A and B are shown apart, each in its own frame.
Chain A
Amino acid sequence: MKWVEVIVSFILTLSFLSFPSCGFQSDELLVDDEEFGLEGAPQHRSPEPIPTRSPPVTSPTRKRHSDLDSDSKIQFSLDHAFGDSDFSPAGTFSARLKTWSHGGQTLTKLRFSRNSFSDVEKEKFKNLLESDDFYRIRLPSNVLSPPGRDFIISSVKARCLPRESLDEHFVIHMEGVNVLAVNYGSPGSCPYPRNLKLPAKWSFSSHTVLKNSEQAPRAPVFTEEILGGENAEGEVVQPAERSFWAKYWMYLIPLGLIVMNAITQAMNMPEEQATGQVPAQGQLSAGAVQRGPSSAVRRR
């Protein structure tokens, strides 16, 4: 009975521990990549900004409440700057603002429409590429009353963006209606000696992800685990439980050699003479053996 309890609690804690941390993250990134692989393609064709959408990241508990909660649409803008220039509008995020029954507000269904580069901007961007400088973006820190307390700035070396088109990847960290931080960069890697490479198409393919905070796994609570301390100590003592061979090999090998030596001697000896002396050898070497290990124990 007790065992069943222990096993059940173990399974519960295990599932609880493992689920939110690892499963959550990898899941989200996969979905993200799939969607944008598909949606990014048509985007390059039209000069008009095409909204990309990102799957909202919501926890399952929140979904259950969704019927009760009201939605409203909001917009906030993305600004960009080339090197140290001033910020200018570069696109608009639009999202649904969900107001939960318990008073919290979160964004869902984030869409992003990117303005394409004007000729002046293209020129500026080329300069950035040549000088390996930073392309900077900013977002308001509060989406309801922009810019909030301060703008959220993020930047990336311009040479990281160009591929076929200009590939960019936003991860927006939210806390309610506040933007904490935005991670901006290329969706893939940007290997270090950054080479100058102009994009084939001067349009953006944007990927956006919204991230909310994760719950920390709780500390495991065992009701009837009293063995904890002992286990731990047992673990510490464990190295002492090495096998006899592992401990005393340095004594045993020479001993073995001696014994082998003695045996070969004995083999070589004629039968009639051997009786008197072989036991004497045996005793002596046995004495050496015994002294070795016993004093070794004392040393420890």
Chain B
Amino acid sequence: MAIRSFFLFILFFSSSISPVFSLYEDQVGLMDWHQQYIGKVKQAVFSSQRAGRKRVVVSTEENVIASLDLRHGEIFWRHLLGADDVIDGIDIGLGKYVITLSSGGSILRSWNLPDGQMVWESSLQGPKHSKSFLLVPTNLKFDKDNLLVVFSNGRLHAISCIDGEVLWKKDFEAESFEVQQVILPPGSDLIHVVGFAALSQFEMYQINAKNGELLKHESASFSSGFSGQVSLVSTETVVALDSTGSILLTISFQDGKISSQQTPISNLVEDSLGPAVIIPSSVSGIFAIKTDAVTIFIRVIGKGNLEVVEKTTHEIAVSDALSISEDQQAFALIQHASSEIHLTVKLAHDWDGNLLKESVKMDRQRGLVHKVFINNYIRTDRSYGFRVLIVMEDHSLLLLQQGEIVWSREDGLASIIDVTTSELPVERDGVSVAKVEHNLFEWLKGHMLKLKGTLMLASPEDMAAIQSMRLKSSEKSKMTRDHNGFRKLLIVLTRAGKLFALHTGDGRIVWSYLLRSLHKSEACQSPIGLNLYQWQVPHHHAMDENPSVLVVSRCGPSSDTSGVLSFVDTYTGKELSSLSLDHAVVQVIPLPYTDSTEQRLHLLIDADKHAHLYPKTSGALSIFKREFSNIYWYSVEDQNGIIKGHALKCKCTGEVADEFCFDTRDLWSVVFPSESEKTIATVTRKLNEVVHTQAKVVADQDVMYKYISRNLLFVATVAPKGSGEIGSVTPEESWLVAYLIDTVTGRILHRVTHHGSQGPVHAVFSENWVVYHYFNLRAHRYEMSVIEIYDQSRADNKDVWKLVLGKHNLTSPISLFSRPEVITKSQSYFFTHSLKAIAVTSTAKGITSKQLLLGTIGDQVLALDKRFLDPRRTVNPTQLEKEEGIIPLTESLPIIPQSYVTHALRVEGLRGIITVPAKLESTTLVFAHGVDLFFTQLAPSRTYDSLTEDFSYALLLITIVALVAAIFVTWRLSERKELQEKWR
């Protein structure tokens, strides 16, 4: 033990000698993590023909184009296009450019394949809206320049692949013409454009690819009409369905002549199956149709003879065709079987023979295969090998090769809908996961390494070892609750209907669960996950009960479809139960009460304004009855501009007696005049926010009481004209009105108009203040305003003697039906950035000062002290005010580069910022999500309640040792002196 402490001393001593003792650079990654995603893949193009790095270029539903490493699935480069810049098609031109068509076919861009730099961009206009097609022919040359053929907005363009110049264009202006396919027969200079006109007319245009000249135009009419898409079975034949979905039309246009054949589906399949749809694919000679339960593959023989090759009831996914040689095309087929998926690769003309047949074990939580992309390579034995990229129901992306999953990406996390947190299990004996270094040798070795590191003698490997050791020893990734409350589970719900639990320590996925209730079923056609709520948070039984979350979802996009509730255990990730409701879910109100099993009471409001209480237990009901008359809520009708307040009335008066259903009534309403105001933002305080001090002591020893009410609503309205984009109106016709409304009585406590201002408004409400961000058209700048609201009715309680003698009204219950005596203070400042999100830090007890977290347009998170948004700032604060911490008034809010929470990283496509208090009062956990995820810890007032990691224990030790030594020495000296004195 003595040796150990001696070593400790030596080590500390040596570490304090080295002049540089800042941990800034290697602190990155200690408390924060950053994960990059791309979203659900829509289209993938492989680029593996050339030597060098194999890669795949993908476009996604989050409007990302990315180049991924085919070996590991890492991102080489990635670009996030704007929210309204939806990608229609991607391809690779000349083997080195990635061509993307986006924004409904109006923007064509070319990116350099190796590094993702943009090469050129051209904008394509056209006479009318239409489908868009991007074709990159390999053999179409024009003055040594490869052509791109783009059909978009009713116009056919030929574009140079090198500089994006439009070489020729041809309009298809016929009113009703709807393009269905653009075909480039290989080895010819012709382009075929086929489509429908006037619902029953089939049109075919033949165009010279060299100059855009119209060579031929044929049309034929079909009395039965068309439905859905067409499938291309050869360069001169398409298959379509008639308007009833029961007759197949095989249309061929060989040599410019249209001939057709009609085949009822019932001729091919005995039992009629109801209307069918064509599955889009491009395999020559074969197409697939799908009815409710059955998928049928049909081969086209000769001119319009159809033959069923396979009929399957399994879920199936087909890839596009891949040319493997001059006249051979291969395609991949994936079928599901309980816990496996079967991958078959077939040749287009030979259905029965399989090039490849593999089975891959698949995690059930990934759901069905949605998309398949096939790619080939040459094996070591010079035969063809195939790899496929599959997109699953949970939006994950996997690469399969040789019957194995080579890599997988959890890209569902790019589209998070809602986030909540859960505590980890309490540490128990035997449960502890991580082990601390236990023997002296390892301990010594670790410290020697650290010593080397501090003396700058360490090799890069040593540095890596030190870093990993530091990560490990910080214990941040343990699966148990920690004393400071830094370790938690982030429970996120993604758009795919999957729940993930992420560990706050390192961001790894602890479990994931594809909600069964969000699967498509007969009762529930297109389920959508809506929100996550904390259902059960055990405190009394924390040792033996697991917390659970409530997932609220509904069966369709409109709000009157019936709802589904699922309850999921947050430790195990198992669904405890799920409820299909017979009513809709318009609003979910978590009530501040829990029943005997610590389940939180929730009130669900349906479309008929009935309130339903959950959980449906008698215990919950009795608690609810007690608080019956104290429950109020509000609803915002965005379309009408009406805000209404509601309360409970009585039991439901339906035919079916339901104890847990209650009628409601309207208590108040606020009607914004539709010609002058339109609501664009409503914000309330966070339900779980804690306010520590109710009063604020201002400079001259005066006290102001904060008006703290949970029932305050901030509403921002703008002039209807000004609800468009910034700059679409003049300052005179645009205004913004901010309201503070009490949601129990409907009182407007504060109302203020900003003339010449415009949305979008981002606002955050906390304690007794609200901060909102908008655009000032007069000043051509963004502005941020703050409103603070103070209670005057308690302002008399300043006298100390009153407080001492108990003659104050601070403890009396507050009723919102009393007339409020409030005063507000507000101020506005300019701010440079436009915002994507705004949040405020929250801590366990609310003592720590607050910081605003601003999600800037550059996808970063900026922390701004709330002190900058204090309405009491003046140009020349007095000495007293300065001591209080009031900053002199400036016209704009400062942006301090060091206060970017995300430091050098970007959270691409930032959508939301969530703050969670840790148990340590000074610290708050921040989670920012968008396409990327970012997590960090913040201490708005520094970590005043714990020693930071860079605290110099050595210095402390040295001081103590020096003092002890000094005491000993002086003691000795004095003793000796006393002795001498006595001897004298």
Binding between chains A and B: yes
Q: What is the interface of chain A, defined by CB distance below 8 A to chain B?
A: 10, 13-14, 17, 21-22, 25-26, 84, 132, 134, 136, 141-142, 148-157, 160, 169, 171, 173, 175-176, 178-181, 183, 185-194, 211, 213-222, 225, 228-229, 231-233, 235-236, 251, 254, 258, 261-262, 265, 269-270, 273, 277, 280-281, 284-285, 287-288, 291-292, 295-296, 298-299
Give the docked Cα–Cα distance between A232 and B888 (Å): 8
The listed residue with most B CB atoms (<10 A of its CB), out of A84, A180, A291, is A180
Beta-carbon contact of A236 and B959 below 8 Å: no
Beta-carbon contact of A157 and B827 below 8 Å: no
A-B interface pairs (CB < 8 A), number: 231
Assess whether B892 is interfacial by the CB under 8 Å rule: yes
Residue numbers in A under 8 Å from B970 (CB-CB) = 258, 261-262, 265, 281, 284
13 contacts between A and B (CB under 8 A): A132-B629, A148-B671, A149-B642, A149-B671, A150-B642, A155-B668, A157-B817, A175-B677, A213-B752, A219-B776, A220-B889, A220-B890, A221-B779
Which B residues between 664 and 699 are near A, CB-CB below 8 angstroms?
665-674, 676-677
Which B residues between 925 and 966 are near A, CB-CB below 8 angstroms?
950-952, 955, 958-959, 962-963, 966
Beta-carbon contact of B16 and A295 below 8 Å: yes
> Contacts A156-B817, A188-B819, A191-B818 given: A183-B747 contact, CB under 8 Å?
yes
> Contacts A183-B747, A216-B785, A232-B868 given: A153-B981 contact, CB under 8 Å?
no
Assess whether B891 is interfacial by the CB under 8 Å rule: yes
Residue numbers in B under 8 Å from A154 (CB-CB) = 667-669, 745-746
Give me the 7 closest cross-chain CB pairs, A-B, nearest first: A228-B890, A189-B818, A192-B813, A178-B673, A219-B828, A232-B894, A183-B747
Residue numbers in A under 8 Å from B958 (CB-CB) = 291, 295
> In the complex, how many residues of chain B place their beta carbon closer than 8 angstroms to a beta carbon of chain A?
83
Beta-carbon contact of B825 and A21 below 8 Å: yes
The listed residue with most A CB atoms (<10 A of its CB), out of B649, B793, B977, is B977
Residue numbers in A under 8 Å from B738 (CB-CB) = 216
Residue numbers in A under 8 Å from B785 (CB-CB) = 216
The listed residue with most B CB atoms (<10 A of its CB), out of A211, A235, A296, is A235
Query: Which single member of A84, A233, A288 contacts B649 (CB below 8 Å)?
Result: A84
Give the docked Cα–Cα distance between A157 and B818 (Å): 10
Assess whether B616 is interfacial by the CB under 8 Å rule: no
Residue numbers in B under 8 Å from A217 (CB-CB) = 826-828
- CB-based nearest B residue for A288: B962
Give the docked Cα–Cα distance between A213 and B825 (Å): 16
Beta-carbon contact of A173 and B751 below 8 Å: yes
Beta-carbon contact of A180 and B955 below 8 Å: no
Give the docked Cα–Cα distance between A190 and B828 (Å): 35
Known pairs A191-B813, A232-B894, A235-B887; list 20 more (Cβ under 8 Å). Answer: A150-B669, A157-B817, A181-B668, A181-B741, A185-B747, A190-B817, A193-B813, A213-B751, A213-B752, A215-B752, A219-B891, A229-B890, A262-B970, A273-B977, A284-B969, A287-B962, A288-B962, A292-B962, A298-B16, A299-B955
Give the docked Cα–Cα distance between A233 and B969 (Å): 47
Assess whether B905 is interfacial by the CB under 8 Å rule: no
Beta-carbon contact of A225 and B827 below 8 Å: no
Give the docked Cα–Cα distance between A183 and B670 (Å): 10
Give the docked Cα–Cα distance between A190 and B649 (Å): 22
Beta-carbon contact of A219 and B887 below 8 Å: no
Within the complex, what minimum Cβ distance (angstroms) separates B972 from chain A? 10
- CB-based nearest B residue for A173: B748
Give the docked Cα–Cα distance between A299 and B958 (Å): 13
Assess whether B783 is interfacial by the CB under 8 Å rule: yes
Residue numbers in B under 8 Å from A292 (CB-CB) = 959, 962
Beta-carbon contact of B793 and A216 below 8 Å: no
Beta-carbon contact of B751 and A233 below 8 Å: no
Residue numbers in A under 8 Å from B668 (CB-CB) = 153-155, 181
> Contacts A21-B825, A213-B752, A292-B959 given: A156-B745 contact, CB under 8 Å?
yes
Give the docked Cα–Cα distance between A183 and B744 (Å): 11
Within the complex, what minimum Cβ distance (angstroms) separates B333 from chain A? 58
Beta-carbon contact of B818 and A186 below 8 Å: yes
Query: Which single member of B670, B819, B891, B951 contacts A152 (CB below 8 Å)?
Result: B670
Q: What is the interface of chain B, defined by CB distance below 8 A to chain A?
A: 16, 19, 21, 629, 640, 642, 647, 649, 665-674, 676-677, 737-738, 741, 745-748, 751-755, 776, 779, 783, 785, 793, 812-815, 817-819, 823-830, 865, 868, 874-876, 887-892, 894, 896, 950-952, 955, 958-959, 962-963, 966-967, 969-970, 973-974, 977, 980-981, 984
Residue numbers in A under 8 Å from B642 (CB-CB) = 149-150
Residue numbers in A under 8 Å from B825 (CB-CB) = 21-22
Residue numbers in B under 8 Å from A13 (CB-CB) = 875
Within the complex, what minimum Cβ distance (angstroms) separates A147 from chain B? 10
- CB-based nearest B residue for A160: B817
Residue numbers in A under 8 Å from B865 (CB-CB) = 236
- CB-based nearest A residue for B756: A218
Within the complex, what minimum Cβ distance (angstroms) separates B640 from chain A? 7
Beta-carbon contact of B667 and A215 below 8 Å: no
Give the docked Cα–Cα distance between A148 and B671 (Å): 10
Give the docked Cα–Cα distance between A233 and B868 (Å): 11
Beta-carbon contact of A232 and B890 below 8 Å: yes
Residue numbers in B under 8 Å from A225 (CB-CB) = 890-891
Residue numbers in A under 8 Å from B16 (CB-CB) = 295, 298
Beta-carbon contact of A281 and B973 below 8 Å: yes
Beta-carbon contact of A152 and B671 below 8 Å: yes
Residue numbers in A under 8 Å from B21 (CB-CB) = 298-299
Q: Is the interface of A mostly helix, strand, loop or mixed?
A: mixed
- CB-based nearest A residue for B754: A216
Query: Which single member of B751, B815, B830, B966 contacts A284 (CB below 8 Å)?
Result: B966
Beta-carbon contact of A273 and B980 below 8 Å: yes
Residue numbers in A under 8 Å from B874 (CB-CB) = 14
Within the complex, what minimum Cβ distance (angstroms) separates A63 from chain B? 19
Residue numbers in B under 8 Å from A277 (CB-CB) = 973, 977
Residue numbers in A under 8 Å from B815 (CB-CB) = 189-192, 194
Query: Which single member of B745, B875, B896 contacts A185 (CB below 8 Å)?
Result: B745
Beta-carbon contact of A219 and B817 below 8 Å: no
Residue numbers in B under 8 Å from A285 (CB-CB) = 966
Residue numbers in B under 8 Å from A258 (CB-CB) = 963, 966-967, 970
Beta-carbon contact of A10 and B875 below 8 Å: yes
Give the docked Cα–Cα distance between A178 and B727 (Å): 28
Give the docked Cα–Cα distance between A298 and B658 (Å): 71
Give the docked Cα–Cα distance between A215 and B753 (Å): 5
- CB-based nearest B residue for A188: B819
Beta-carbon contact of B829 and A236 below 8 Å: no
Beta-carbon contact of A213 and B966 below 8 Å: no
- CB-based nearest A residue for B896: A233
Give the docked Cα–Cα distance between A194 and B815 (Å): 9
Within the complex, what minimum Cβ distance (angstroms) separates B874 from chain A? 7
Give the docked Cα–Cα distance between A291 and B13 (Å): 13
> Contacts A173-B748, A216-B785 given: A21-B674 contact, CB under 8 Å?
no
- CB-based nearest B residue for A258: B966
Give the docked Cα–Cα distance between A280 and B970 (Å): 10
Residue numbers in B under 8 Å from A273 (CB-CB) = 977, 980-981
Give the docked Cα–Cα distance between A179 and B737 (Å): 15
- CB-based nearest A residue for B21: A298
Beta-carbon contact of A175 and B887 below 8 Å: no
Give the docked Cα–Cα distance between A259 and B75 (Å): 65
Beta-carbon contact of B891 and A149 below 8 Å: no
Beta-carbon contact of B887 and A231 below 8 Å: yes
Within the complex, what minimum Cβ distance (angstroms) separates A228 from chain B? 4
Give the docked Cα–Cα distance between A181 and B743 (Å): 13
Query: Which single member of A136, A176, A192 contacts B667 (CB below 8 Å)?
Result: A136
Within the complex, what minimum Cβ distance (angstroms) separates A28 from chain B? 12
- CB-based nearest A residue for B967: A258
Residue numbers in B under 8 Å from A185 (CB-CB) = 745, 747, 817-819
Give the docked Cα–Cα distance between A191 and B812 (Å): 8
Residue numbers in B under 8 Å from A261 (CB-CB) = 970
Beta-carbon contact of A188 and B818 below 8 Å: yes
Give the docked Cα–Cα distance between A10 and B889 (Å): 10
Give the docked Cα–Cα distance between A25 and B751 (Å): 11
Beta-carbon contact of B894 and A233 below 8 Å: yes
Give the docked Cα–Cα distance between A186 and B826 (Å): 28
